[in-house]
Amino acid sequence: GSTGAAGGGGSAGGGGGAEKGGRVRCSRRVWVLLGSLTLIFLTSLFFSVSLRGGVGFNYLEPPGWEESRRVKLVPSYAGAHRLSPPDSQQQKTCACPRCVGDPGVSDWFDENYDPDISPVWTRDNVQLPSDVYYWWVMLQPQFKPHSIQQVLLRLFQVIPGRSPYGSWDPGRCLRCAVVGNSGNLRGAGYGATIDGHNYIMRINLAPTVGYEEDAGSHTTHHFMYPESAKNLATNVSFVLVPFKTLDLVWITSALSTGQIRFTYAPVKQFLRVDKDKVQVFNPAFFKYIHDHWTRHHGRYPSTGMLVLFFALHVCDEVNVFGFGADSRGNWHHYWEQNRYSGEFRKTGVHDADYEAQIIQRLAKAGKITVFPGK
């Protein structure tokens, strides 16, 4: 027993140095830990102050917040000349009294608006992200799938395949009229006001002859899908809104060989439009509207919404005409009396009421001006 105790005493005596060394290592660890915690605290404090502009602290900003906020200050397009970020939130992005791109006016708008996504499908963004591709392909499933890359390469041999829209210019005021087809245009007398814009965007059939006083006579952009397409004057941009790969095959054919006459309905075999002005609506932009703005209400956004957001990404000032029901609640077109005028709201394809709320909210945020019509 005593031997064990003596042995134990020996180990305790030898452990004096080890114990001392242990205390030194322990205190080192404590200092390292304290140093690390101080560094973390100072770093988070610095980021918090820089993120909040030095006012108050908030550790709950989502990841990437600072990055996305910086990107959103000055809208631009991928591949375009990027302006240097403004010194203050109040710097203007255009020469109009109110500019779509001005930051700090509406948090809701700034959070959802992505200035770097191109509304036009071009050679530069020919490759769709896989989630976009699968979502878009399922809008109108096809019996005969086509290789999208080959189809687009053929199409871009016929049309330019470039975006004509540059970066935002603080010295420019590009005013755009988005003209819907609502019956509320009839008798509104907006013709001259509409014609006074730089860009005048129309949708599908949208006749102007005979309706000049209310709907205007000029057009710069006409948005159509194959089943609604018509010939256009040479100074008008035909903007194809594609819902399926076959639509891209059709536009290539309609501007060249005339092979395609039918999609799910008869379509024009040949199309008389200015080939150099043909643009294709980008499915990635389509899905961005569905995700960020209409928030998956309805199967996909209406063509009216697609055109409205197209304008919000290429124009400095956006004025909206001919959207919504007329004063009696009818959804018919300004050129016809449609006894089935309410069907648009019942199909479930588009959520007309939710889209109307978005338009109201955009107007309230000062990003668009809505002309209510009659």
Residue 296 labelled as part of a binding site: no
Tell me how far apart the alpha carbons of residues 355 and 345 are, in angstroms, rounded to a whole number. Answer: 11
Residue 21 labelled as part of a binding site: no
Residue 324 labelled as part of a binding site: yes
Q: Let me know: does 227 contact 267? Beta carbons within 8 Å.
A: yes
| Catalytic-role residue among 197, 221, 222, 350 | 350
E-strand spans in 105-159?
none
In the numeric block, which tokens belong to residue 106? 């509406």
> What does the pLDDT read at residue 195?
98
120 forms bridges with which residues in the sheet? 281
Share of the chain above pLDDT 70, in %: 74
Three-state DSSP class for 244? coil
pLDDT in tens, 319-345: 999 998 767 766 678 888 765 555 545
Q: Let me know: does 334 contact 211? Beta carbons within 8 Å.
A: yes
Backbone angles phi, psi at 27, to 5 degrees: -65, -35
300 given a catalytic annotation: yes
In the numeric block, which tokens belong to residue 58? 């908030």
Q: What are the residue ranges of CATH 3.90.1480.20 in the chain?
A: 107-371
Q: Work out the average pLDDT over 190-203.
A: 97
Residue 125 labelled as part of a binding site: no
Tell me how far apart the alpha carbons of residues 6 and 159 are, in angstroms, rounded to a whole number. Answer: 97
What does the buried/exposed string (b/e) look like for 39-55 if buried means 16 or more CB atoms within 10 Å of the residue's CB? eeeeeeeeeeeeeeeee
Specify the pTM: 0.74
Least confident of 67-76, 154-163, 224-233, 279-288: 67-76
Residue 264 labelled as part of a binding site: yes
How is domain 107-371 classified at the CATH fold level?
sialyltransferase cstii, chain A (3.90.1480)
Q: Work out the average pLDDT over 162-188.
A: 92
pLDDT surpassing 80 at residue 8: no
pLDDT in tens, 111-150: 999 999 999 999 999 999 999 999 999 888 776 667 888 9
In the numeric block, which tokens belong to residue 66? 């600072």
Residue 204 labelled as part of a binding site: yes
Tell me how far apart the alpha carbons of residues 146 and 130 are, in angstroms, rounded to a whole number. Answer: 16
239 forms bridges with which residues in the sheet? 223, 279
| Catalytic-role residue among 113, 300, 313, 332 | 300
